[in-house]
Homo-oligomer: A and B are copies of this chain.
């Protein structure tokens, strides 16, 4: 054990806060849509609405990148697209490998979102020999044995893990040893990696459980009809008052 998991805030080199970085892709997407409609400029208010965030937050986010706006007018769409793309590192090519070509891996390989930006699926890797050579999304699947050489030859630094949970850590270790320093993990496991390696996880099960929690809370509030209490004031409250099950302390 002793997982060396030390999630570095990493907010140091350039002053860009992590929360801002996480929103930049959102802005970029909205800006790209505007660009395709040939919209020349956009105000923080409009763009914020399109991205689903607060306009003040958006302006502060952009302020970390520099002063790219014009007061009284707004932001130049094309210029901002370029600046954000550059900031995110999307002006260069990022070869990516996907490990684990099951249902999910195949779905990811077919996902158009990859190629649209700077990402390119360099290789698909699977442990099943029966998969080897079989084309998925037009790319022939290669065997896990060749993982290291594939990484090296393609200069891959980003890996996507879509294997079963049991194989994830092992695959992760091999990817890291081969030189991968950023991992997107779809397997429902906590990966432990050395410092300097970034891991982001996408976990369907966790997301559903969080939704279930809120769903239960809503249902509880609905049913918790306290007599003589608020009867119609429950409309848009983000957080309702307690009104939860009484603490029945089961021993």
A residues neighboring B (CB under 8 Å):
1-3, 5, 8, 10, 12-15, 21-22, 24-26, 28-30, 46, 49-52, 64-68, 87-90, 92, 94, 96, 102-104, 106-108, 110-111, 113-114, 116-119, 157-158, 181-184, 188, 190, 192, 195-196, 198, 200, 202-218, 220-221, 230, 232, 235-236, 238-239, 241-242, 244-245, 247-250
State how many copies of this chain the complex holds.
2
7 contacts between A and B (CB under 8 A): A13-B217, A13-B247, A21-B214, A89-B215, A108-B204, A111-B204, A117-B208
Most B Cβ at <10 Å: residue of A66, A89, A236, A239: A89
User: Which B residues touch A111, using CB under 8 A?
Assistant: 103-104, 204
User: Which B residues touch A213, using CB under 8 A?
Assistant: 21, 24, 87-89
Nearest 3 A/B pairs, CB to CB: A89-B216, A15-B245, A103-B107
Q: Which residue of B lies closest to A182 (CB)?
A: B211
Inter-chain contact B49/A3, CB cutoff 8 Å: yes
Q: Which residue of B lies closest to A113 (CB)?
A: B205
Q: Which residue of B lies closest to A111 (CB)?
A: B204
From B209, B214, B249, contact of A28 by CB (8 A): B209
With A106-B103, A192-B52: A211-B204 Cβ-Cβ less than 8 Å: no
User: Which B residues touch A24, using CB under 8 A?
Assistant: 209, 213
Most B Cβ at <10 Å: residue of A111, A214, A220, A245: A214
